[in-house]
Amino acid sequence: MASISGKLQPGTEKIKMKNPSTILVTGGVGFIGSNFIRYVLEKTAFKGRIVNLDKLTYAGNPENLADVQKKYKGRYVLVKGDICDFKLVGRLFKKYSPGIVTHFAAESHVDRSIFGPKDFIETNIHGTFSLLETARQAWAGRKDVRFHHVSTDEVYGSLGRTGKFKETTPYDPRSPYSASKASSDHLVMAYHHTYGLPVTMSNCSNNYGPYHFPEKLIPLVILNALEGKPLPVYGDGMQVRDWLYVEDHCAAIWRVINKGRVGQTYNVGGNSEMANINVVKNICAALEKYRPSCCNVDLKGKKYLDLVTYVKDRPGHDRRYAIDFSKIRRELGWKPSVTFKQGLERTVRWYLDNSAWVRDVKTGAYRGWLKKNYTR
Ligand code: NAD
Ligand code: DAU
């Protein structure tokens, strides 16, 4: 196995890579994928090439990587295409011979899966199958390669007031989204057990940070607040999520790919459990600090917090998620580096500083989708 070395920038970590030449990233234009590509190119010793296969759905905004495209010409290649397309995936394996696949591509939004599950079944299940089957054939028994699958804590279902998800928690998915992710997780592990494909997997909690698409709670609330629009809180707002800063997640994935045990999954969490209504209150507080409501003409004299509006609940809304990440901490030495307060302030400042990105994203396919509301 080859390993790479190189001069590290401050704050970077030195990791031995299995096959340094090419990483095939799927869904790398999306929120986490784009942060991951930037992380690998800027903050690790990786000197090879990244090929990014992305269908550029409504959630895939190429602006997320415009800087990378310019700065890393020759080391970063974007291929527009569908992971379900066997022929295309096969051609990419032939042309680029990736030693690592990092699989992010998915339909990722629970609300959309409730209104229309079909794309979730296609991309999340069939797409994962197409990648696994191609990797199995192309790699034919090689051990010096990795297929890393990025999954979610939602596959474990919903918790009561106490307890945390462990890697051994039985699967109990409850939305079309989480059922499709659970299905893909099982396929990944089946390819390892049946064919010996060298896979690793990570199941993480709710990410937040730069480039987060504004259909998800945190960016939606930030942008609605700035425009003086209602801040929709589902049900009683007491559902609990564990918030993970996206760059911490990227660092965890990189560790798992490089140091994780083959055939294992690692839970990744932010150590930041919080009820949704408190997340919204924290966002309002951060906005008051960096863009006070009294100076925002769209607020018409209101405070950000006055915009909170309780709306109909998401059907089958999971009550609480919490992650036990002791396995990745113990085995790979990873833990989150920022608190929720630090991560949220960075995130709010990023949205304030990137109004051109916001404008671009809000005039795309996203526009108007949230006009749909839950009715029952
Ligand atoms: P995202 O919706 O922001 O991005 C998904 C990307 O996949 C987009 O660029 C989209 O164009 C691309 N894509 C969709 N269908 C495709 C297809 N058929 N072929 C090729 N590309 C396709 O998603 P995200 O939030 O960045 O999530 C990335 C991964 O992480 C997903 O697998 C998701 O299930 C998982 N995950 C996300 C979170 C989170 O909080 N966002 C938490 C846990 C796990
Ligand atoms: O837990 C990991 C999952 O986190 C990932 O697998 C998913 O891809 C990702 O989208 C995210 O799923 P959630 O459904 O938890 O994220 P979302 O931001 O949509 O919602 C977070 C919580 O906030 C959830 O309890 C629903 C609630 N919510 C959401 C929206 C969009 C609201 O109260 N109001 C809203 O308008």
In a domain, residue 299? The reply is no
In a domain, residue 105? The reply is yes
> What is the value of pTM for the model shown?
0.95
Closest ligand, as measured to the CA of 55: 1
Q: What is the pLDDT of residue 362?
A: 83
Interval between CA 216 and ligand 2 midpoint (Å): 6
Interval between CA 107 and ligand 1 midpoint (Å): 6
In a domain, residue 226? The reply is yes
How would you list the strands of the sheet with 49-54, edge to edge?
Answer: 76-80, 49-54, 22-26, 100-103, 146-152, 199-204, 265-268
CA distance 188 to 252: 19
Domain that holds residue 120: 22-276+312-364
Residue 15 has pLDDT above 80, yes or no: no
- The CATH number of the domain holding residue 85 is 3.40.50.720
Q: What is the pLDDT of residue 368?
A: 46
In a domain, residue 10? The reply is no
314 class by beta-carbon count within 10 Å (0-12 exposed, 13-18 middle, 19+ buried): middle
| 193-249 pLDDT, tens digit each | 999 999 999 999 999 999 999 999 999 999 999 999 999 999 999 999 999 999 999
List all residues whose CB is within 6 A of at least one atom of ligand 2: 108-110, 152-154, 205-206, 216-217, 220, 232-234, 239, 241, 276, 314, 321
In a domain, residue 353? The reply is yes
How many structural domains compose the chain?
1
**What token pair was written down for 39?**
């992380």
In a domain, residue 371? The reply is no
In a domain, residue 225? The reply is yes
In a domain, residue 286? The reply is no
